[in-house]
């Protein structure tokens, strides 16, 4: 399986969350993991927020950021081209997605035709993928 992870499925691989076990299972089950390039920035922002909220300390942040670099080395990373951004814009309007969720959606749909499976916990993103006929793994279930 080609697993298309969004940020909500990456962060639990780096810090303990209720969905960590499901994310780890999806990661291990994938022959290949595909992410949108924006996932890199979103993950760093989410980890920094976890530190600001007291969920992890400075060392935990450093460890998680190093862990993220190891993950990226094992991922296929899709750049945000003008064409992909335009597709994301259409998906944002059609499905009421936030900007980066629309980018994750468009990125996943590129992989749908080659066996891609969307992996996320964001309800709107999962619903958009399903509406487009993409199989999904809902990390919250």
For the annotated binding site for Mg(2+), the residues are: 6, 101
Beta bridge partners of 2: 32, 116
What is the C-alpha separation between 78 and 38, in angstroms, rounded? 9
Using DSSP bridges, classify how beta strands 75-78 and 2-5 pair: parallel, antiparallel or unpaired: unpaired
Collapse the DSSP code of 5 into the 3-class scheme (helix H, G, I; strand E, B; otherwise coil) and give the result.
Answer: strand
Sign of CA dihedral 62, 64, 68, 74: positive
Q: What angle do CA 2, 20, 101 make, to 5 degrees?
A: 55
Q: Residues marked as binding?
A: 6, 101
CA nearest neighbour of 108 among 18, 9, 24: 9
């Amino acid at each position: 399986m080609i697993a298309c992870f969004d940020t909500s499925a990456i962060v639990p691989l780096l810090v303990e969350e209720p969905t960590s076990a499901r994310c780890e299972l999806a990661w291990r089950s994938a022959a290949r993991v595909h992410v949108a390039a924006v996932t890199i920035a979103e993950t760093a922002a989410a980890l920094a927020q976890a530190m600001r909220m007291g969920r992890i300390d400075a060392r935990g942040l450093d460890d998680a950021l190093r862990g993220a670099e190891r993950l990226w080395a094992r991922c296929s990373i899709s750049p945000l081209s003008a064409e992909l951004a335009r597709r994301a814009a259409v998906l944002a309007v059609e499905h009421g997605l936030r900007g980066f969720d629309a980018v994750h959606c468009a990125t996943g749909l590129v992989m749908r035709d080659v066996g891609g499976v969307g992996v996320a916990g964001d309800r709107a993103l999962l619903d958009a993928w399903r509406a487009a006929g993409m199989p999904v793994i809902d990390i919250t279930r």
